[in-house]
Chains A and B, each alone.
Chain A
Amino acid sequence: MQSTRLFKAVLSRPILISAVLVAGFATSFHTPAYAQSRALAIKAGRILTVTNGTIINGVIIVRNGKIVALGKLGEVVIPADAEVIDASSEWVMPGQIDLHAHIGNDSGLHDYVHTLNPEFRVWDYITPDAPEVRDDIASGVTTLLTIPGSGGNHSGFGVLWKLGGAPREQLYLRKLGVMKVAQAYNPERTAGDLGLSRMGMWWMLRDMFSRAKSYETEMKSWEDSNKKQYSLVANAGLVSTGSPGGAIHTGKQAEAPDDVIGMDNLRAVLEKKTPILVHTAGARDVMETMRMFHDELNLNVFISHGEFGGFQSAAEAAKRGIPVNVGPRLYDFSYQTYDRTFYSIAQKYLNAGVEMLSLNTDCPVIPPDDLFLQGTISIRMGMDEDMALRAVTINPARTIGIADRIGSLEVGKDADLVIKKGSLFDVRNPIDRVYINGNLVFQHGQRRRGVGAGPFEARNGVEEDGQVESGPVRRGFLVEDE
């Protein structure tokens, strides 16, 4: 996103500064008020940047919640005031991003009355401090896309938010995080006469989008005919204000068209600021999702789940460059293939050429803190370790459009870090520390669910690059000297 550029654009127009202040909504690219003041210097045995390879014996400098420097020890200047964290026997990797979560939201999974609910938005109702969210942090997940359920064809808009205990308004990465659509294998169970069949579901979605398009055209022309700035403000930043019209009324001119709150939310989708997450599965329905949203409506869509034989449409997803977010199921057994064979869903999509592949938990279907375990199992079922790490970090970040802030360890990105011995996916070692926005939010030994048991020293060494130490007893930890 061009947040910094637009920010400058706003600053250059005094009237807009006041407009922004008047609006009174905090935007998340401001320095968060809760960020730590002291710099951190984390010395690490391995730094997995994800996008720029691995740094052996490196250091990361964190200030004000951002990574300000990283590189090899000796090549990076450690600020004098920095708190030095010695993780030289450990690995550091970015915090994980789960793009399909139903936790942190106690307001109910979805409504069943109408099958299309563009007015609904989860960001009104998150509970950032729920126990399962704390569990999630303890497993190294730092960002969640909490979405409504799949009981209806379109159950509302999910919210993209950062875990970790910041003040409420500063948690949101994007309030209209994603438009949630369920196109198969659930909505039909609660549909009435219309929406029971795929035909009915798709007609309703098409109809809604066509009305949304008319609405958008109408609103846009009114905004353009007034001040151009309005649309700048409306388009600026990552946060949709959610208020009617998305624009600030500064008086003047003809009356704005009537606001329709649901249609307004859909504007974000039509203007490609908010992608569409489609819960879909089975070869036919995966294909239809892509054809309808990508080919016909020309919108940003990504496939969520894609199981039950959906991998058979993988080549079509690859052709269109459509991201695929796999989970909670990681394999199909005989589903639509009828051969008593286990197929790794993620691997099938990868083999067909899908590049933007990510993993999710669909928590609480599986526990939220099993996101890394999804990676572990995917590796077991054939995925490359590097790919697995991308699948829980940079790929979901890119898929949801937040990769400028999170998803990898790069200068300027948020300091969301996971520190542990060995690979994130090696079950045998626990997570040692988790930082979110530069704040230590979890440390091993701290009972994630309440009464602390005191710090506990991890006893075992870490596994290196598939080299299996012979014998059942393992000692020490090896840091590879390159």
Chain B
Amino acid sequence: MASSVKPIVLYAFAACSCMSAHMALAQGAAKEAAPVKPAAAPAPVPADYTYIVGGDVWTVTKGVIKGGTVAMCGGKIDKVGGPDLKPPEGSTVVDARGKIVTPGFVATSASLGNAGVAPGGQLRDSLDPYSLSVALAASSGITSVYLSASGAGGGRRGGGGGGGGGRFAPQAADTSFSTNNIVIKMAEGDLKGMVAAESTVTTLNLEAPRGFGGFGGRGGRFGGGAGQGENGNLSVRWTIQDQLRRAKEYLAKSNQYDADKKAGKQATAPTKPTDADVVLPLLKQERLLRVSANTVADIQYALKLANEYGIKMVISPATEAWVIADEIAAARAMLIITTRDRTLPDERRNTGSGANPDGPGILEKAGVSFAVLPPDTSFSIGGELGRDMMTFALEGSYAMRGGADAQAALDSLTITAAKTIGMEGRLGSLEAGKDGDVLILSGDPLDYRTFVEKTFINGKLCYDKDTSTFFKDIHPANEK
């Protein structure tokens, strides 16, 4: 069935009752210095209602609405409903009959071809909205990307290589807590629209290269030293734990102090340790800690921290997580995994090790939530296809291959991914109030033949397969 979609050119000036439109406009207007113009009556607040109707709406969190409607306004999702939700006069109507409507995919890491960020530099100052990767991302259905300056907890870059397993060695050690990260939207040409949220999580790299003497330099499976963690980096770990411990003590004292003051008792304010600010929100469970760890030992150490200090944690890339799935579930930690990781097992160990293609099933059975990343987190145009971000949803399909069910696979691309970057309030599902990041797909997102037909970001149409040059020569056999 041919999709007949009206070009998105109309913007209605009808009165809009949704708050978000007002707010978005107010924010937008404040930035530029006003050019000198003769005084005029203020223009009526424009309302950009866009109604996507007729498609099967996969909300992700609340099931599927057949022939449902998604209404967007002011960059946000205004309403999600059934066929009875009719578009009002003057709104832009997008026909999605025969298609599937999903939230935009959330990438928990990506290589966008940007130049790096200098130490002390802010990611928000180094974005490139004109990069080809941004346009390609929108065409692959990825609407949000998390970037970190410290590199902790990132995905792998480059191809997984053949057969040999192993992974790229972690970069130079940055084992401190970092908050230099950002979530950006893949809105081509729109610098303002790109910045979604800054510093949404705190990161910690537990994978600093080890091997101070002893087993160092053996280039084990995880780069750096012996790769098992037991021998290495005790001082770094001590520093981390000490920092947490002192902050925890301070927090207890501070709470006590507040209680005493309230009760009118005499009390002295405790002195805050200088390095407490970055970890206090973790202890208070106000922020998520994203930890990079791969081996069983490193993951277990991370879990120890999570349990001892009550930290909400995301572990990535967590290659050996499948070995201790129950422990991870018990600690309520989330994961970001590459289902197709090819790390070889370590024959010297008695437990399982290395990557396991059936890991997703094991994890799901144990009740662990995971988001997924492909082996190559870049948007390649070199000719090889199937392993990089251009086929992002395929990683969810591989999670199913590994035993996870379809819902967990869909979640891994959307809502769970949003949770791992602290953005579940805005991204990852089709619910009123969330960002207007919506995809119209030609079929099941986990079906290898499905293409993105339209991508809406912040309520605006950012990609249209029919008008873009990218896939105009591609016609999947199941194209309707």
Q: Could you tell me if B473 and A450 are in contact, using CB atoms closer than 8 angstroms? A: no
Chain B, residues 464-480, CB within 8 Å of chain A (1/0): the string is: 00000111111111100
Contact of A365 with B58 at beta-carbon distance under 8 Å, contacts A331-B383, A340-B470, A379-B449 already known = no
CA distance A365 to B344 in the complex (A): 18
Q: Is A449 positioned at the interface, with any CB of B under 8 Å from its CB?
A: yes
Q: Could you tell me if B161 and A364 are in contact, using CB atoms closer than 8 angstroms? A: yes
Q: Is A192 positioned at the interface, with any CB of B under 8 Å from its CB?
A: no
Which residues 428-482 in A have Cβ within 8 Å of B in the complex?
428-430, 445, 447, 449-451, 453, 456, 458-460, 463, 466, 468, 470-474
Find B347's partner among A343, A366, A450 (CB 8 Å cutoff).
A450
Q: Is B227 positioned at the interface, with any CB of A under 8 Å from its CB?
A: no
Q: Could you tell me if A103 and B162 are in contact, using CB atoms closer than 8 angstroms? A: yes
**What residues of chain A lie closer than 8 Å to B405, measured between beta carbons?**
459-460, 473-474
Find B163's partner among A331, A333, A364 (CB 8 Å cutoff).
A364
Q: Is A404 positioned at the interface, with any CB of B under 8 Å from its CB?
A: no
Q: Could you tell me if B161 and A341 are in contact, using CB atoms closer than 8 angstroms? A: no
Find A428's partner among B342, B382, B397, B449 (CB 8 Å cutoff).
B397
Q: Could you tell me if A451 and B353 are in contact, using CB atoms closer than 8 angstroms? A: yes
Q: Is B3 positioned at the interface, with any CB of A under 8 Å from its CB?
A: no
**What residues of chain B lie closer than 8 Å to A31, measured between beta carbons?**
none
Q: Is B403 positioned at the interface, with any CB of A under 8 Å from its CB?
A: yes
CA distance A459 to B451 in the complex (A): 26
Q: Could you tell me if B384 and A382 are in contact, using CB atoms closer than 8 angstroms? A: no
Contact of A344 with B474 at beta-carbon distance under 8 Å, contacts A364-B162, A472-B407, A472-B410 already known = yes
Q: Is B330 positioned at the interface, with any CB of A under 8 Å from its CB?
A: no
Q: Could you tell me if B401 and A428 are in contact, using CB atoms closer than 8 angstroms? A: yes
Find A473's partner among B344, B406, B472 (CB 8 Å cutoff).
B406
Find A380's partner among B345, B356, B476 (CB 8 Å cutoff).
B476
Q: Could you tell me if B406 and A460 are in contact, using CB atoms closer than 8 angstroms? A: yes
Find A374's partner among B361, B386, B398 (CB 8 Å cutoff).
B386
**What residues of chain B lie closer than 8 Å to A341, measured between beta carbons?**
469-473
Which residues 346-365 in A have Cβ within 8 Å of B in the complex?
363-365
Q: Is B354 positioned at the interface, with any CB of A under 8 Å from its CB?
A: yes
Q: Could you tell me if B475 and A382 are in contact, using CB atoms closer than 8 angstroms? A: yes
Q: Is A385 positioned at the interface, with any CB of B under 8 Å from its CB?
A: yes
Contact of A468 with B345 at beta-carbon distance under 8 Å, contacts A451-B352, A458-B403 already known = no
B304 CB, nearest partner CB in chain A, Å: 25
CA distance A340 to B468 in the complex (A): 9
Q: Is B444 positioned at the interface, with any CB of A under 8 Å from its CB?
A: yes
Which residues 373-402 in B have Cβ within 8 Å of A in the complex?
381-387, 391, 394, 397-398, 400-402
Contact of A383 with B477 at beta-carbon distance under 8 Å, contacts A341-B472, A449-B354 already known = yes
Q: Could you tell me if A366 and B387 are in contact, using CB atoms closer than 8 angstroms? A: yes
Q: Which of A12-20, A79-87, A129-137 is near enough to bind chain B?
A: A129-137
CA distance A233 to B53 in the complex (A): 73
Q: Could you tell me if A468 and B470 are in contact, using CB atoms closer than 8 angstroms? A: no
Q: Is B357 positioned at the interface, with any CB of A under 8 Å from its CB?
A: yes
**What residues of chain A lie closer than 8 Å to B354, measured between beta carbons?**
449-450
CA distance A332 to B385 in the complex (A): 10
Contact of A342 with B66 at beta-carbon distance under 8 Å, contacts A456-B403, A468-B444 already known = no
A145 CB, nearest partner CB in chain B, Å: 16
Q: Is B198 positioned at the interface, with any CB of A under 8 Å from its CB?
A: no
Nearest residue in B to A466 (C-beta to C-beta)? B478
Nearest residue in A to B364 (C-beta to C-beta)? A459
B200 CB, nearest partner CB in chain A, Å: 26
Q: Is B207 positioned at the interface, with any CB of A under 8 Å from its CB?
A: no
**What residues of chain A lie closer than 8 Å to B60, measured between beta carbons?**
472
Q: Could you tell me if B345 and A447 are in contact, using CB atoms closer than 8 angstroms? A: yes
**What residues of chain B lie closer than 8 Å to A468, measured between beta carbons?**
443-444, 447
**What residues of chain B lie closer than 8 Å to A374, measured between beta carbons?**
386
Find A366's partner among B162, B401, B476, B478 (CB 8 Å cutoff).
B162
**What residues of chain B lie closer than 8 Å to A154, measured between beta carbons?**
none
Q: Could you tell me if A328 and B384 are in contact, using CB atoms closer than 8 angstroms? A: yes
CA distance A427 to B398 in the complex (A): 6
Q: Could you tell me if A453 and B356 are in contact, using CB atoms closer than 8 angstroms? A: yes
CA distance A344 to B478 in the complex (A): 16
CA distance A316 to B161 in the complex (A): 34
Q: Could you tell me if A342 and B447 are in contact, using CB atoms closer than 8 angstroms? A: no
**What residues of chain A lie closer than 8 Å to B472, measured between beta carbons?**
341
Find B448's partner among A380, A449, A453 (CB 8 Å cutoff).
A380
Contact of A385 with B477 at beta-carbon distance under 8 Å, contacts A130-B163, A330-B384, A366-B159 already known = yes
B395 CB, nearest partner CB in chain A, Å: 9
Which residues 324-357 in B have Cβ within 8 Å of A in the complex?
342, 344-345, 347, 352-354, 356-357
Q: Could you tell me if B403 and A459 are in contact, using CB atoms closer than 8 angstroms? A: yes
CA distance A260 to B407 in the complex (A): 64
Q: Is B42 positioned at the interface, with any CB of A under 8 Å from its CB?
A: no
Q: Could you tell me if B347 and A472 are in contact, using CB atoms closer than 8 angstroms? A: no
Nearest residue in B to A363 (C-beta to C-beta)? B162
CA distance A381 to B470 in the complex (A): 12
Q: Is A32 positioned at the interface, with any CB of B under 8 Å from its CB?
A: no
B344 CB, nearest partner CB in chain A, Å: 6
Find A377's partner among B66, B160, B386, B402 (CB 8 Å cutoff).
B386
Q: Is A376 positioned at the interface, with any CB of B under 8 Å from its CB?
A: yes
**What residues of chain A lie closer than 8 Å to B160, measured between beta carbons?**
367
Find A453's partner among B159, B358, B387 (CB 8 Å cutoff).
B358
B464 CB, nearest partner CB in chain A, Å: 15
Q: Is B63 positioned at the interface, with any CB of A under 8 Å from its CB?
A: yes
Q: Is A121 positioned at the interface, with any CB of B under 8 Å from its CB?
A: no
Q: Which 10 A-B pairs have the closest CB atoms?
A: A364-B162, A132-B163, A329-B383, A427-B397, A428-B400, A333-B381, A450-B345, A340-B469, A377-B386, A471-B64
Contact surface of B with A, Cβ cutoff 8 Å: 56, 58, 60, 63-64, 66, 159-165, 342, 344-345, 347, 352-354, 356-358, 361-362, 381-387, 391, 394, 397-398, 400-403, 405-407, 410, 443-444, 446-449, 451, 469-478
